[in-house]
Structure 1
Amino acid sequence: MLLDKLKLSKPLIKSMTEAGFLGPKEIQLKTMSRILGGQDIIAVGPEGSGKTTAYVLGVLMRLKYGFEEAPRALILVPDRERIDDVLAKFELLNRNNTIRIVPLYPDGNMEAQINEVTDGSDIVIATPDRARAVYLKLGLNLNKIIMFIVDDAAEIIKKGMQLPVAELARSIVKCQHLVFTEVVHDKLHLLIDQFMNQPALLEVSELAEKRLETIDQLLYHVPDYKTKLNLINLLMVDEEVFSKVIVFVNTRLTAEKVFKSLFKNFDKQVSVYKPLFFDHPGFDIIDDFKQSEDTRILIVADDLKESVDLSGIPFVVHLEIPAEKEVLISRIVKESGNEDKIAISFSTDIELVTVKKIEQAIGQLIPVAELPADLVIAKDVKIKKVKTKAPEDEGLSGAAFHEKKESNNKDYNYSSREKAKMKFKNR
């Protein structure tokens, strides 16, 4: 039997068979032996690749019995819906009635949740912020945890919940850490490097069968929004190539910000579709932009919820990845008789999750373009130099005046963001 390759107990094999599992998925084959062996792992795979089933089986194999005095597995997920998904998977595969599973919903009654955990639990499934809140109220005992699992880690980072994850992980003396994610990027490493111990990186890249014919695409992976602005300004310098461009952003407010950035370099060549402010140049009809000889860049906001006719436009740029993947997909599908055009997308680490979902939907990877050598990377500009003022009168002296110690002199200044980073690093 194919399921025997996972080397699970007979009750678990029986549960999988009755649940309709015909065989293990690639991610399960790659991770199971390491999970059962207690090793830290980072498992990377697209949605639907079987990551949740992998760690649910691993938890049920390692715990085996219930009725310990405190939880032995803590599973962190991004939202309430994901808690329900994981609970459903445990209910499908768990035949051991002694194992007690407690969900901590982000909008639930905290006192009731604390009582439920302290009354007896072996597995706790929670969002990071709620788990941390219950822990700080002494309702979650982490002393017996042997498995610390972060599911859908990229989505947790996207929601800005890195701090509670890191604090909970550092509060556990010693355990196995399992991180499951759709993408790996710098922000993820910044989080997990604080607590993981030489993890094995296990990756699968299953793509659905190619279902859609799309126009040519390019993806620029950039560190932050400011670098996006630098890049779009750098690309648009080539007027001969970028003769007519529509730039999509998520909101009308962002459209105005991008307009101001581009206007500095390209003046009347840039305009906004249905601008927020009456004094900004704009178009209310797309055909007017297409016929304009002076304007070659049009910024369009997705929150207008309007379908845009892209025929005759050689370049379609997504400065921001839309929250709903279907929005971007509708613009890259190749129609019969469609002229040659290119779709260029800019993505930060946070947006890579949606990019992966788009690749799954269209059944192909989007080629990643190399960043131009002369692109200014905003995050590399860290220390701002400030001029120090020499005393006007070197003869000043007395009780109210003394020269600065040499150790107190400085010719640099840190921003509040950099100070916060240094403070976090030193904790």
Structure 2
Amino acid sequence: MSFKQFQFMAQINSNISTCGYEHPTPIQEKAIPEVMSGKDILGLAQTGTGKTAAFALPIIEKLAGGPRGNVRALIIAPTRELAEQITTSFKELAADTGLRILAVYGGVGKKPQFDAFNRGVEILVACPGRLLDHLNNHDLKLTSVATLVLDEADQMFDMGFFPDIRRILKHLPSKRQTLLFSATMPADIRKLADETLTNPKEIRIKLEQPLDLITQALYPVSKRQKSDLLVHILQKDPVEGSTLIFTRTKYGAKNLAKKLEKSGFSTSALQGNMSQNQRNMALEGFRDGTFKILVATDIAARGIDVSRVAQVVNFDLPSTAEAYTHRIGRTGRAERSGRAISFMCYDDQAMVKAIEKLQGKTIKRIAIDGFYMEEASEQQEQKGNQVPRKHNRRPKKQTGPRPSGNRQKKPAAKAKKSTDPKRASNIFGLGQKGK
């Protein structure tokens, strides 16, 4: 199938060729005719399937010959990076059509955005928070919006944007076309779809990522040893190319990047507390090879398309098996081999089983001398030691001044406590240092 079968206007066909698109992807084949017909869409598709062009092309086709000056299409994305990428795609595909496209997100001044509204914008790509700020300030109106796109809806839910989304919807006309795309479809996303879509066409596209090109491995390790194990692997078993490391929190990303820098690796972090300039520098540095390692959270990395990633490291495993597949799919692209390594602590075993069930195979375990995963008994012992010790200390402070403090039962309590440090040393591996 070719793009010519969609019968786009000549300028759009020319732009498609300029962008290097030859054949539509599966989601483009299925979604473009439905969007062109005006139907609402519920799309289950991940980054890398070509979904941006799947909604951008029909939107451009419908708006190119229409009235100008007001926002006719609104695309809402969870992160600044994704908003920028969507905007770039729209500008490339809408070149020389006269359509004006604007990206709106936080971290930059509001005035240039306000000035652009006054000049006129037909296609607006926005992050929820900044868009709501403009709406509350009456900087723009969305009463002319004909098509609404909610991209990466599951990520917007994870970031807590759903209340903002519902407030934004109140500014839109009830009669409109709505396209909702999500990588996963949990109950909350399904509920939002029921609220915003009318008789939608449901499209499900699996990410056609050849996992057989990716060498996967699990490294059992305790939580306190993870950063040391990472340094060990990067030093003893380096890869040719860049490494993308995922952490669960933005603070974890920042601290891990600092540790790797101190260990001699050219590293940058990508996390929510950075300014827009810092984020751009981190991304560009990773793309051009200035930084060989990028440490990021799922939220910060969502939508980022960086080619030639040789290795993905799950420093912290994700919360879903699907997210794991999406993470490691950043490597092994364009028929190039890649490596994905994951650290597995005691608490991660259930998630590992879910990942292996989804893939239908067992992932290889690699044990490194000196690095061990906690045993269940150690975890229980740690919890059993830490809580009672807090309670044992406080009665001493309360009962000491009392007249009944001359009872001779305290030595027994002390004797009982004296065994705790030994047990604690076994839990945290302190006894191994003496070997």
TM-score (norm 1): 0.54
Secondary structure of 2:11 counterpart: helix
Tell me if structure 1 keeps the 8 A contact 2:31–2:54.
yes
Give how far 1:39 is off.
0.9
Tell me if structure 2 keeps the 8 A contact 1:2–1:22.
yes
Secondary structure of 1:178 counterpart: strand
Give how far 1:213 is off.
3.7
Tell me if structure 1 keeps the 8 A contact 2:310–2:332.
no
Match in the other structure for 1:107: 107
Give how far 1:60 is off.
0.4
Give how far 1:362 is off.
6.7
Match in the other structure for 2:2: 2
Q: Assess, with a 3 A threshold, how the Cα gap between structure 1 residues 157 and 148 changes in structure 2: closer, same or farther.
A: same
Q: 1:358 aligns with which of 313, 322, 328?
A: 328
Give how far 1:182 is off.
2.1
- Which has the larger helix fraction? 2
Residue 36 (1) aligns with residue 6 (2): no
Match in the other structure for 1:212: 214
Match in the other structure for 1:202: 203
Match in the other structure for 1:259: none
Tell me if structure 2 keeps the 8 A contact 1:73–1:146.
yes
Identity of aligned residues (%): 19
Give how far 1:327 is off.
12
Q: Assess, with a 3 A threshold, how the Cα gap between structure 1 residues 127 and 330 changes in structure 2: closer, same or farther.
A: closer
Q: Aligned runs of 1:180-195 on 2, under 5 Å?
A: 180-195=181-196
Give how far 1:346 is off.
7.3
Tell me if structure 2 keeps the 8 A contact 1:65–1:98.
no
Tell me if structure 1 keeps the 8 A contact 2:312–2:330.
no
Q: Assess, with a 3 A threshold, how the Cα gap between structure 1 residues 215 and 346 changes in structure 2: closer, same or farther.
A: closer
Give how far 1:196 is off.
1.6
Match in the other structure for 2:79: 79
Match in the other structure for 1:374: none
Which deviates more from structure 2 when the two are superposed, residues 145-154 or residues 190-199? 190-199
CA distance in 1, matches of 2:329, 2:101: 35
Deviation digits for residues 121-156 of structure 1, max 9, x if unmatched?
Answer: 111111011111111111221111110011222222
CA distance in 2, matches of 1:73, 1:26: 24
Tell me if structure 2 keeps the 8 A contact 1:67–1:99.
no
Secondary structure of 1:132 counterpart: helix
CA distance in 2, matches of 1:361, 1:204: 20
Q: Aligned runs of 1:139-288 on 2, under 5 Å?
A: 139-172=139-172, 173-209=174-210, 210-214=212-216, 246=221, 248=223
CA distance in 2, matches of 1:134, 1:185: 30
CA distance in 2, matches of 1:368, 1:327: 25
Give how far 1:352 is off.
4.6
Secondary structure of 2:216 counterpart: coil
CA distance in 2, matches of 1:97, 1:346: 45
Tell me if structure 2 keeps the 8 A contact 1:77–1:156.
yes
Tell me if structure 2 keeps the 8 A contact 1:77–1:127.
yes
- AA matched with 2:117: V
CA distance in 1, matches of 2:3, 2:216: 38
Tell me if structure 2 keeps the 8 A contact 1:47–1:357.
no
Tell me if structure 2 keeps the 8 A contact 1:73–1:147.
yes
CA distance in 2, matches of 1:21, 1:304: 39
Structure 2 gaps, min length 5: 227-231, 233-251, 261-295, 302-308, 334-339, 341-353, 359-435
Match in the other structure for 1:335: none
CA distance in 2, matches of 1:147, 1:96: 21
CA distance in 1, matches of 2:314, 2:85: 32
Give how far 1:17 is off.
1.5
Give how far 1:273 is off.
5.2
- AA matched with 1:76: I
Give how far 1:46 is off.
2.7
Q: Assess, with a 3 A threshold, how the Cα gap between structure 1 residues 93 and 329 changes in structure 2: closer, same or farther.
A: closer
Tell me if structure 2 keeps the 8 A contact 1:42–1:202.
yes
May I ask how many residue pairs the two structures share in their alignment?
A: 272
Deviation digits for residues 349-395 of structure 1, max 9, x if unmatched?
Answer: 6x8545422256479993448xxxxxxxxxxxxxxxxxxxxxxxxxx
Match in the other structure for 2:118: 118
Give how far 1:18 is off.
2.4
Give how far 1:45 is off.
2.1
Q: Assess, with a 3 A threshold, how the Cα gap between structure 1 residues 124 and 214 changes in structure 2: closer, same or farther.
A: closer
Structure 1 gaps, min length 5: 218-244, 249-271, 275-285, 287-300, 308-321, 333-344, 370-427
CA distance in 2, matches of 1:346, 1:80: 24
Give how far 1:330 is off.
4.8
